[in-house]
Structure 1
Amino acid sequence: MAQYSEASLETAACLWEAVLTLRSRPITDPDAIGLALAIDRTFDALGTAALRLTVVGWTDTVEASWREIENDYPLCFDWDFVPAWIIDHIDWSDPFHPALIQRGGG
């Protein structure tokens, strides 16, 4: 059975909480509203349980991203970094497969 650190469990919870917030309380920015609608379509397509497992699967990646900048990031992890990471790193265009955006190296 897999073992997870308390910190990783908290990261997974922060990710899920951020997805719920981005879905239900978009700011009036048209991009935020579009994101909320895309997340909502994904909930409808996959269902809550499947989407939650998908989001939990991003834990290691978001923790690695955080480790790269945590000493220089002026805001907090849960309310600022995680939602911004989701906005910048997740492609919601296919409601059946929200995916990490692959960035080219170099």
Structure 2
Amino acid sequence: MAQYSEGSLETAACLWEAVLALRGRPITDPDAIGLALAIDKAFDALGTAALRLTVVGWTDAVEASWREARNDYPLCFDWDFVPAWIIDHVDWSDPFRPTVIPRGGG
């Protein structure tokens, strides 16, 4: 069985919390509404448990990005960096397969 550090478990929790928040707060921004709808479609397509496992699978990628940014990032990791990372690095266009966009574009 794989062993995970406490920090990685917290990162995974932050990712999941951010997905839930992005899904639930579309407000009136058209981009936020579109993202919320795309996330909602992924919930419908995959189910909560499968989507949660997908999101947890992004832990290494977000931690690598954080290592590069943390010294210059003025805001907090969990409520600022992680949601922004999801917005900038996850392709939600296929509700059955939301994926991290490879570095250098997709």
Same fold at TM > 0.5: yes
SS at match of 2:73: coil
Structure 2 partner of 1:12: 12
Ranges in structure 1 where 5+ consecutive residues have no aligned partner: none
**How do 1:11-90 residues align onto structure 2 when only pairs under 5 Å count?**
11-90=11-90
- Deviation of 1:85 (Å): 0.1
Structure 2 partner of 1:91: 91
2:63 is matched by which residue type in structure 1? E
Q: Residues 46-86 of structure 1: CA distance to partner in whole angstroms, max 9, x if unpaired?
A: 00000000000000000000000101100000000000000
CA distance in 2, matches of 1:6, 1:80: 20
> Runs (4+) of structure 1 moved beyond 4 Å?
none
Structure 1 partner of 2:101: 101
CA distance in 1, matches of 2:14, 2:82: 7
SS at match of 1:44: helix
Ranges in structure 2 where 5+ consecutive residues have no aligned partner: none
CA distance in 1, matches of 2:73, 2:104: 23
1:80 is matched by which residue type in structure 2? D
2:35 is matched by which residue type in structure 1? L
Residues paired across the two proteins, number: 105
- Deviation of 1:102 (Å): 1.9
User: TM-score of the superposition, structure 1-length normalised?
Assistant: 0.96
User: TM-score of the superposition, structure 2-length normalised?
Assistant: 0.96
Q: Percent identity, please.
A: 88
- Deviation of 1:16 (Å): 0.1
Instruction: Note the aligned Cα RMSD (angstroms).
Output: 1.0
